[in-house]
Structure 1
Amino acid sequence: MSIHEQLAFIKEIHPFENLTKSQLDDFVNNLDIVYFKKNIIIQEANKEPENLYFIIKGVVQEKKEEEVISIYSNKEIFDPFSLIENRSKNSFITAQETICYLLPKDIFIKTLHKNSSLESFFFQSISQKLNTNMVDQKNKELANLMVAKVKDVNLHKAVIVPYETTIFEAVKTIKKEKIPTLLLKNKDDEIYIVTDSDFREKVILNRMDFDDIVGKISSKGIKYINENEFLFNAQLLMTKYGLKRLVVKNNENEIIGIIDQISLSSFFATHSFSVSNEIDNAQNLEELKKVCLSFTKIIKSLHAKGVKVDFISKLINRLNRKVMDKLFNMLAPKTLLGNSCLIVMGSEGRGEQILKTDQDNALILSDECKISKKELFDFTQKFTETLVDFGFPRCEGNIMVSNPYWCRTKSEFKDLIYNWITNPSKDDYMNLAIFYDAMAASGNRELLIALKEYLFKIGSTSKTFYMYFAKTIMDFNVPLGFFDGFVFDSKDKEHKNEIDIKRGGIFIIVQSIRALSLEHKLMRVNTLKRVQELENKGELEAEFASEIKEAFNFLLTLKLKSNLQKLDSAQKVDNYIDPEKLNTMEKDLLKESFKIVNKLKKKLEHHYKLNYV
């Protein structure tokens, strides 16, 4: 290879793309090329290593006695950790003819201590490496979106005047201070807010006396956010409550400013706020459909800007629920309003569905709800068909409000839950899993809460039930072979040399965490939040919990990246990825993620004695 090719070769291997130009030159100037025949011991166990090896061609096995621990092939390195610890724990033996670059130990160690990126990488845990990759994969400047704080945005000045101030004096203050919003404080130190639009819509249109108290046109129920909170959390908070502004406080709990949608929109430039407003302002189905069809554009924009997948899913989930709520209130007969609860389930309920895959929804009616069967049937059919028209595909398993099985009174759902637990079939376990992930999208959420509390009560005495509930994971295999190679389904001709990342990783994490959460009677539905609560309860060790969260996010990110590429080329969105389209670092981290999935699976096997069920 030429020097240029050697430089390119080294830079392709993570984390050496972080080397400075002089460090890269130093590496290349000290490289030697070596050839090994098959079954040659390159590095012997318990001996002091002398070189770092970069494999150009061939395969090397890492062995502990006769057991193969790992396998290394083209554009991979071995063994930096032996050099760092100055002792090789295992032997490294060629499995076939192999050609390597070797770099002297002293050059590697010297560079390691001078390059903070290298040093942090080689001393990181698996979870830290995964997390680092989530940022490194994106443009560094744009990735700063996720670390931007509220205080990084231009805040409007917070001016507080007495509640009894006249409307005339309040307007003078707004003009003088050049602000769009004014805060009011009453005698009990309660804070109210009044905006420039309040003066137009409440004062002028109602012909109010300018000497009247401005407090009469103000609003309470202000939401606050700390200046050190992540900016994206401010966006989520506004979206969740349908707000246009938040009042900002410092660590001393003092009001220091006001952040509004315009400030955030200019910072993020994702149009997600305008979309949220368009949902609120939609007057008919066509307007609502138009808004809904713009979600994919938002997802692509956020993904391109380096926003982490869990934040994208949170935002899109809340926008989806706003659409569901708006649609429900547009179509539902008056009899249902206040007497029912529309719920979303499965990945949509957990807030983990990003691109629209299929509908998973149900309708809980209060026992007092008086609605005819025909009226209910007509509504549920139209609701499902409208969602299909909005881009939410029909559920292949028919888990939709249009199916009477998923449209019942509260008492009927109780009977259903009782049967799921006391006399379950295989489908019942899956139905219960889907229902346990339910989140209220519209209506009376107390109906859902009551059913989940009943679920916890009925299942509390049945240890055997939890065992069978968790056993589903045994039907799914992690696609990682004994020698760390990817395992493909030879029977699946359509997806030859591809991996079903949902079956092989995502589902196992979701179901494992769901089973533990159900046993602990957690109300949380989001997988990452369930992991955190299980850690808080001592069910998961802190490091393992961190590994699970990072592996889960990495798998979701790969899935999203793959599906966005498929959308761009007009292909069907699915759960398959081609490992050959991943770079070396992504392949390594995918293998590490699958190892974490395997570790979690083994924990569940032991915890529930699944091999004996």
Structure 2
Amino acid sequence: MMDQNLYNLYNLEAVRFHPFFHGVESDTALSLLSMCEVRHYKKNDMILKKNTPRDGLLLLLEGLSEVVVKNDHSGREEVLEVIQTGELIGFSSLSDFLGVSKQPPAELVEVKASSEVQAMFIPFEVVRKRWGDPAVHDYLLAQVAVRLKDVYTSLAEQIKLATDYGENDALMIRVQDVMSSEAAAVSPAAAIQEAAQLMLKRKISSVLVTEKDSLKGIITERDIVEWAAAEGADMTAPACTIMTANPITVSRSAYYYDALSLILLKGIKHLPVMEDSKVAGIVTLSDLLRKKNENVIKTVQKIEKADRDSLPQIKTGIYEIMDSLLRDRVPILKALDIITKLYDRLAGRIIALSISELKEKGLQQPCEYAFYHMGSSGRGEQFMLTDQDHFLVYENHSKEAGEFFEELGKRITSNMESAGYARCKGLMMCSEKKWRGALSVWEERLRTWMLQSTNDNLLSAQNFFSYRLISGSEELHAKFEARILEQMKKSRIFLYRLAQLEREQPIPALGQPLRSLFKLQRKSMDMKKEVLFPYHHSLQILSLTHGKLSGTPLEKIDFLKDRQVFSKEFTHDLIESVSTILTLYVNRRWQQEKNGAVLSSVVSLLRLSTREKKELILSLKTLKELQSHALARFTV
């Protein structure tokens, strides 16, 4: 008797009109369906394992899955293909079914559920019974052709990326090119003191613990210091006492950026290098970042010594560092954090230089001030020097203070322009009266924005609430935020109006089949206007609702997690989604800048690799969930 689930599924168009069952008598279709089986998989479940015989196809009824290949040495998974609802899994086994393989090849790939999945298993017996129908032939041929095209596109994309990142002949630097082949090592039974002496003699900060070329563990300088500081520490104790067993390793043939990602993401500084299960050497963070560290140090030195004439040179140094970070695929949030710190130093130097210039003219600072960045810099996402977005708050509402800070605002804006920041077309700069003022002036300005919520005022408020303190008095900053909170309490309807404005900009929903979405209907997407702005505004509304006024998006996400507005799981998914979107956005914009092309945030969906499509569709789903969460309490 047929499974009730299968019978119910047959009444769905997805199954009844599928080429395997469409066009045959109802009884025949139900008979074929009775030979099939409904299978359920949880997220990250392995649907098909490698080196396992395949005895049929799987029709995806609900959810997403991905075809992956795993590096046995590094453990890294590479997504080769994304399978959407309505598509088949298991095409590689058709050659066996058709009898064209001289011998069954080893299955090197696996299929993993990337969400909750419901699939219908179609055994080859059913395929055999329907093989004589031309519609089935045409369907399978079309599916295989599309899959083959996707795989070639993905391979071509990888070669293009390698070339774009400056690698000759599309070859990446390998770990073996930067590692130290003579890794210092001691046996597990050797005394801790022996390990310490070896570090001192070789002037290194770690030793491996090995036994017959087999890696047992690693001891770092910090391990020895902590052991020596412990009460009753015995330096003659065996090395295995303090070693980190089964350390994270990398293959000798792994790419440079694989090692860099492991070190950055796992928070380690020493990475043993393996070859055929034996120790081949060691690579450290210093090995990987030595050149970049030199660039960073030189750039910081230039910033600290910059004057009006040398300000334009800073941009080149920061751009070189950004290019290096992107070329080596440092995680985008880490890269932006590094660049943000450099830009913050630059802004701080510009302010100090501007105040110094006023002093030379005999003008003395009359009271405390606080200088803030807004826009991409305020969000910690500025990787290129775009236009200026900043404002100035000062303590006293006096004529003297007004005149000094008016002049200071003009100096700051002028010096920033010299450094490479374009003047803001919307005039959102502290050289403008609307974007500077004493505490009392800002209090009235905010009250006006909140009570007279015109579109212009709401747009000003949206930009304002991306602010971040860059320089000045922390005490004044605290007073300023206290005044803002008071205004927020008196103007509850303000958040409602922000939410209504945001409701008009829904993040795109990518619920349609991948092929129709990316290849037929929507051809492009403006990542800035359609995705990043709605994401930032949604996070802004949630943060303001719970009392968080300023800071970067990541700081706001952490705040909302601590307040239990976000679960740990959603926080993780959200950060991953933001990282995916920013990686796509930043890399495209950076290549435009390097190629001298017109800067645009529009991404052609047809040019995305299979992996990028999969990551984009899942990321947008998470960001849309954030937007729904932010707007939920403001429904009419």
Residue of structure 1 aligned with 2:605, choices 555, 562, 579: 579
1:125-164 matches, cutoff 5 A? none
Q: Describe the superposition over 1:27-75 as per-residue Cα deviations: whole angstroms up to 9, x where unpaired.
A: xxxxxxxxx99851479699427998xxxxxxx99667xxxx8899xx9
Matched, 1:40 2:19: yes
Structure 1 residues 457 and 76, CA, compared in 2 at 3 Å: closer, same or farther? same
Whether the aligned pair in 2 keeps the contact of 1:63 and 1:70 (CA below 8 Å) is no
- 1:314 to partner: Cα distance: 1.4
- 1:234 to partner: Cα distance: 11
Matched, 1:522 2:548: yes
2:443 paired residue number: 414
2:135 paired residue number: none
Q: Describe the superposition over 1:270-294 as per-residue Cα deviations: whole angstroms up to 9, x where unpaired.
A: 6112211221122x21223212332
Separation in structure 2 between the aligned mates of residue 520 and residue 375 of structure 1, nearest angstrom = 36
Whether the aligned pair in 2 keeps the contact of 1:265 and 1:273 (CA below 8 Å) is no
- 1:396 to partner: Cα distance: 2.3
- One-letter amino acid of the counterpart of residue 285, structure 1: R
Residue of structure 1 aligned with 2:415, choices 380, 386, 390: 386
Matched, 1:478 2:507: yes
Structure 1 residues 63 and 396, CA, compared in 2 at 3 Å: closer, same or farther? farther
CA root-mean-square deviation: 4.7
Structure 1 residues 602 and 440, CA, compared in 2 at 3 Å: closer, same or farther? closer
Separation in structure 1 between the aligned mates of residue 538 and residue 173 of structure 2, nearest angstrom = 34
1:62-211 matches, cutoff 5 A? 78=83, 92=86, 102-103=93-94, 118=110, 122=113
SS in structure 1 opposite 2:400? Answer: coil
SS in structure 2 opposite 1:479? Answer: coil
TM-score of the pair, normalised by structure 2: 0.57
TM-score of the pair, normalised by structure 1: 0.59
Separation in structure 2 between the aligned mates of residue 455 and residue 48 of structure 1, nearest angstrom = 61
- One-letter amino acid of the counterpart of residue 570, structure 1: G
Whether the aligned pair in 1 keeps the contact of 2:453 and 2:497 (CA below 8 Å) is no
- One-letter amino acid of the counterpart of residue 571, structure 2: A
SS in structure 2 opposite 1:371? Answer: helix
SS in structure 2 opposite 1:362? Answer: strand
- 1:592 to partner: Cα distance: 1.2
2:489 paired residue number: 460
2:620 paired residue number: 594
SS in structure 2 opposite 1:285? Answer: coil
Q: Describe the superposition over 1:392-431 as per-residue Cα deviations: whole angstroms up to 9, x where unpaired.
A: 1222221111211001112101111122223322232332
Q: Describe the superposition over 1:525-564 as per-residue Cα deviations: whole angstroms up to 9, x where unpaired.
A: 1112211221221111222221111111111110111011
Separation in structure 2 between the aligned mates of residue 487 and residue 399 of structure 1, nearest angstrom = 38
Matched, 1:540 2:566: yes
Separation in structure 2 between the aligned mates of residue 592 and residue 452 of structure 1, nearest angstrom = 36
Q: Describe the superposition over 1:269-326 as per-residue Cα deviations: whole angstroms up to 9, x where unpaired.
A: 46112211221122x2122321233211111101111211111211211211211111
- 1:338 to partner: Cα distance: 5.6
Separation in structure 2 between the aligned mates of residue 277 and residue 345 of structure 1, nearest angstrom = 26
Aligned length: 424
Residue of structure 2 aligned with 1:292, choices 310, 315, 318: 315
Between the aligned residues of both structures, percent identity stands at: 18
Whether the aligned pair in 1 keeps the contact of 2:302 and 2:314 (CA below 8 Å) is yes
- 1:601 to partner: Cα distance: 2.1
Separation in structure 2 between the aligned mates of residue 278 and residue 393 of structure 1, nearest angstrom = 21
Separation in structure 1 between the aligned mates of residue 115 and residue 265 of structure 2, nearest angstrom = 27
- One-letter amino acid of the counterpart of residue 456, structure 1: L
Whether the aligned pair in 2 keeps the contact of 1:477 and 1:503 (CA below 8 Å) is no
Structure 1 residues 385 and 420, CA, compared in 2 at 3 Å: closer, same or farther? same
Whether the aligned pair in 1 keeps the contact of 2:64 and 2:113 (CA below 8 Å) is no
- One-letter amino acid of the counterpart of residue 597, structure 1: L
- One-letter amino acid of the counterpart of residue 388, structure 1: E
Separation in structure 1 between the aligned mates of residue 613 and residue 476 of structure 2, nearest angstrom = 45
Matched, 1:345 2:345: no
Structure 1 residues 70 and 369, CA, compared in 2 at 3 Å: closer, same or farther? same
Matched, 1:277 2:301: yes
Q: Describe the superposition over 1:350-380 as per-residue Cα deviations: whole angstroms up to 9, x where unpaired.
A: 2122222221101112216663766544443
Residue of structure 1 aligned with 2:354, choices 320, 325, 331: 331
> For structure 1, which segment, 263-272 or 535-544, has the greater mean C-alpha deviation from structure 2 after superposition?
263-272
- 1:602 to partner: Cα distance: 2.2
SS in structure 1 opposite 2:421? Answer: coil
- One-letter amino acid of the counterpart of residue 433, structure 1: Q
- One-letter amino acid of the counterpart of residue 348, structure 2: D
1:382-461 matches, cutoff 5 A? 382-460=411-489
SS in structure 1 opposite 2:444? Answer: helix
Whether the aligned pair in 1 keeps the contact of 2:64 and 2:116 (CA below 8 Å) is no
Whether the aligned pair in 2 keeps the contact of 1:337 and 1:443 (CA below 8 Å) is no
Separation in structure 2 between the aligned mates of residue 583 and residue 463 of structure 1, nearest angstrom = 45
Unaligned runs of 5+ in 1: 1-35, 53-59, 80-89, 127-134, 146-150, 159-228, 236-260, 491-495
Whether the aligned pair in 2 keeps the contact of 1:321 and 1:441 (CA below 8 Å) is yes
- One-letter amino acid of the counterpart of residue 299, structure 2: V
Separation in structure 2 between the aligned mates of residue 49 and residue 140 of structure 1, nearest angstrom = 46
2:400 paired residue number: 371
- 1:122 to partner: Cα distance: 4.1
Separation in structure 2 between the aligned mates of residue 314 and residue 592 of structure 1, nearest angstrom = 24
Separation in structure 1 between the aligned mates of residue 609 and residue 406 of structure 2, nearest angstrom = 51
Whether the aligned pair in 2 keeps the contact of 1:460 and 1:519 (CA below 8 Å) is no
- One-letter amino acid of the counterpart of residue 520, structure 1: H
Separation in structure 2 between the aligned mates of residue 270 and residue 586 of structure 1, nearest angstrom = 33
Separation in structure 1 between the aligned mates of residue 326 and residue 294 of structure 2, nearest angstrom = 11
Matched, 1:603 2:603: no
- One-letter amino acid of the counterpart of residue 537, structure 2: Q
Separation in structure 2 between the aligned mates of residue 396 and residue 122 of structure 1, nearest angstrom = 47
SS in structure 1 opposite 2:425? Answer: coil
SS in structure 2 opposite 1:478? Answer: coil
Structure 1 residues 277 and 77, CA, compared in 2 at 3 Å: closer, same or farther? closer
Separation in structure 2 between the aligned mates of residue 436 and residue 533 of structure 1, nearest angstrom = 16
- One-letter amino acid of the counterpart of residue 278, structure 1: K
Structure 1 residues 230 and 451, CA, compared in 2 at 3 Å: closer, same or farther? farther
